A and B are shown apart, each in its own frame.
Chain A
Amino acid sequence: MTTAPAEVAARAAENRPAPRRRIPVPHKAAIAVFIAPFGILFVLFYLIPILQAVWQSMLVIERDGTFGEATEVFGGLAQYVLVFQNAPFWASVARVLTFGIVQVPVMLGLALLFALLLDSPLVKGKKFFRLAFFVPYAVPGVIAAIMWGFMFSPNLSPFTALTKSVDFLGADLVLWSIANVVTWVFVGYNMLIIYSSLLSIPTEIYEAARLDGASQWRIAWAIKIPLVRPAILLTAVFSIIGTLQLLAEPQVFASFSSAVISTYTPNMTIYATASVPNSSLAAAFSVVLALATFALSFTFLKITQRKGADE
């Protein structure tokens, strides 16, 4: 997610002549004051917790006797061995990957479609639809999950005719029921990112296209989509991260679906482990998940950037 702005900055830098000499920075103290709130909060609530999690993941517990006092001692990578032996954790990783492969393209496809429709001169009532598509994002994920859970419920749903015959909360479908909730919540959000990118395309390009006789369909396909590619990539990376960190929706579903177990997603596994409480193993899970998320996002960006360069 950090690469996208960097990329923009890099492009901007190419177009400008390089500054010839360094201008001395005035008001260093003032700058420090303005940066300090960010810096302090960043260190306190970002760097220190991460370091603490890494440190915690290196600890193991020792005690004497059945109720002996526990002491945490350095245990090297012992917790990480347990992480890699933990079958439910890796099953949960596989589950969210399956989820992501299907849900992310569907969600981003819808977001792109809605953004293009909003940007098209043919559609009326843009303000209304822009807000209407975005409203689900304003609903907290937990509330959305409870609401959809009610709609999927076999006997209490307003659509019992359907839910009585199709078990949306059963083992076969519940993953996609959750995907439905996540899609519902996040389509509008991603649409807005893509839409704002569409708005920044210079109108001269459209004028030129129209002079060349391009239809709206052709403009969308050949001009708009290629130009909003960076925005789509950005939303894709956000979505990949979001998928791996899925927690609230499946956690809510666990209370009313027999198919959602306590280790359904990686984050639920971490939560369940922390509840034992086994902080060290939970920390090790978290570190591994963070690294996996980073690796996946990075790989995705590398692949898509190489493709972009080939074109």
Chain B
Amino acid sequence: MQHKKKAIAALALVGTLALAGCSTASGDGGTSAAGDCTPSDGKVDLTFTSWIPGIEDAVQLWNDENPDIQVAVQTGPNGNSGTYQNFFNQLKAGNAPDLGQIEYDALPNFRVQDGLVDLAACADVVAAEDDFVPWTWGQVTLGTEKEIYGVPQDSGPMALFYRSDLFEANGIAVPTTWDEYKKAAKQVRAAGGYITNFSQTDINQFAGFVWQADGQWFQNDGDEWTVDLTGDASKTVADYWQDLIDEDLVSTYPAWTDEWNNAYNSGEVWSWNSAVWGANSIASGAPDTAGNWSVALAPQWNAGEAKAGNWGGSSTAVFKGTEHLYEATKFALWLNTSDEALTALNTSANIYPATTAGLDLPSLQEGVEFYGGQKIYDVFKEAATQVNPDFVWGPTMTQTYADVADGFKAAASGQGTLFEALENGQTTTIDALKAQSIPVKE
């Protein structure tokens, strides 16, 4: 009998443990209804996931000032490199963090997966609209009138980072149009370098080029999506870079690798068409070239135009399942509008604020040492005003990026072309939308 009692007790114990394990995984998700934006009683603990270098320091500032709303920050790889996959899995498992960093291009994807809380219930968020650069607000409302799916954090207006020392020493003028850029590429190649590295995996950079050329990859008229990866602008951009690859005027190192850093650090590659946050990437990836870089406005498709693309830019979104919507939005607003947070993020990661007031931050008025003391943010401030505000992102960008990147990789290895990769991406994206039962025009 003794045996039996103990056995039953042991079984019961194991059973409860197992059940406890299950319930923490699938419990508290989804039940707390959104739309209720009222303060909670007592101390609130929030979780937040981001991949901004140095985000911990900014969060620490908040935690020091707000003992009743403590934020635990977790960092991970940048969105499409793993954090988004984690978010999707966490949402399915019901244990997503309260807040997460989501780039504008991924917001529709999370919206389609029903992972985001509409922040319009919070009066503070609605009232903050006027603080933000209008097009960034457009990116978080997803083209709706009243719904708000994130607080804009930063934007990524694109410009041309270039090695002013090498351009000058070789008597090459800074290109102002893409035609001049190609001519300069030939001169750079003759001097033994590459004008830039074509990244096969940064499809959002390529989208920035298309954006600058007035292209539009997606449209959503409320009834159905239109997918157009192969429009005229896309073809112009794809053919342009295909030419540079074919003529061996650009290198094709896989981006964000040691090889890639080395190509910049050793002076093999002379320029990078990147966003404002790229200032940080160069400084950390190519430390030996400090002081030799400058920033100019992006080359134009037609001389005399003033257009800029955008690459990246994030929002702080609140995930379904949070029990503290009010506190979460309070933190998100502080992180993305307060001078102290924006200064901290700018200093640690060259984050470029999405608020209009943020553009006048003292730290954005100073010269940057790595860029020979140039006031680089003046350039980006100008570029930011040249970004077409109406670029729309599709609801399965992770998939679109992956499929186009596969094609770009093949093109860089000499199989197929960039435009063929876009054509294939067009087909697979439509298939992916259909698989999600999202209405799409064919």
Contact = CB atoms under 8 A, between A and B. Distances in A.
Given A40-B14, A62-B437, A63-B437, A276 B7 contact: no
A63 B436 contact: yes
B402 A36 contact: no
A65 B223 contact: yes
Given A65-B222, A155-B259, A82 B114 contact: no
Interface stretch (A234-242, A255-263, A289-297): A255-263
Contacts of B396: 276
Given A30-B7, A275-B85, A261 B406 contact: yes
Contacts of A153: 258-259
A156 B14 contact: no
A277 interface: yes
A85 to B, nearest CB: 10
Nearest to A67: B111
Given A33-B7, A63-B438, A259-B409, A276 B223 contact: no
Given A29-B3, A67-B112, A70-B114, A256 B413 contact: no
The 5 closest A-B pairs by CB, nearest first: A261-B406, A277-B88, A258-B409, A276-B399, A33-B7
Contact of B439 (A66, A156, A255): A66
Contact of B437 (A37, A60, A82, A279): A60
Interface string B254-278: 1011110011000000000000000
Nearest to A272: B402
A170 interface: yes
Interface string A200-234: 00000000000000000000000000000000000
10 contacts: A33-B7, A36-B11, A36-B14, A66-B225, A70-B114, A153-B258, A153-B259, A256-B258, A259-B413, A278-B432
A154 B259 contact: yes
Interface string A136-161: 00000000000000100111100000
Nearest to B438: A66
B15 interface: yes
A278 B396 CA distance: 10
Nearest to B22: A44
Contacts of A155: 259, 262-263
Contacts of A60: 437
Nearest to B396: A276
B107 to A, nearest CB: 11
Contacts of A274: 85
B436 A61 contact: yes
Interface residues on B, range: 35 or more
Interface of A: 27, 29-30, 32-33, 36-37, 40, 44, 60-63, 65-67, 69-70, 82, 150, 153-156, 170-171, 255-263, 272, 274-279, 281
A281 B438 CA distance: 16
Contacts of B252: 258
Contacts of B200: 258
A109 to B, nearest CB: 31
A262 B254 contact: no
B302 interface: no
A61 B18 CA distance: 30
B64 to A, nearest CB: 37
Interface string B220-254: 10111100000000000000000000000000101
Given A65-B222, A66-B222, A275 B11 contact: no
B435 A27 contact: no
Nearest to B19: A44
A112 B239 CA distance: 53
A255 B114 CA distance: 30
Given A40-B18, A82-B435, A255-B257, A279 B7 contact: no
Given A153-B259, A255-B254, A262 B405 contact: yes
Given A29-B3, A33-B11, A67-B111, A258 B438 contact: no
B3 A30 contact: yes
Given A30-B3, A63-B438, A276-B432, A261 B410 contact: yes
A277 B222 CA distance: 22
A156 B266 CA distance: 11
Contacts of A65: 222-223, 439
A260 B412 CA distance: 12
A232 to B, nearest CB: 38
B165 to A, nearest CB: 22
Nearest to B256: A255
Contacts of A29: 3-4, 7
B110 to A, nearest CB: 10
B36 to A, nearest CB: 19
Interface in B134-179: 142
B223 A66 contact: yes
Contacts of B7: 29-30, 32-33, 36
Nearest to B399: A276
Nearest to A174: B413
B84 interface: yes
Nearest to B431: A82
Interface in B110-134: 111-114
B415 interface: yes
A170 to B, nearest CB: 7
Nearest to B403: A262
Given A33-B3, A65-B222, 10 more contacts: A32-B11, A67-B395, A150-B258, A259-B409, A272-B399, A275-B398, A275-B402, A277-B89, A278-B435, A279-B92
A61 B259 CA distance: 42
Contacts of B224: 66
A293 to B, nearest CB: 24
A63 B436 CA distance: 8
A51 to B, nearest CB: 15
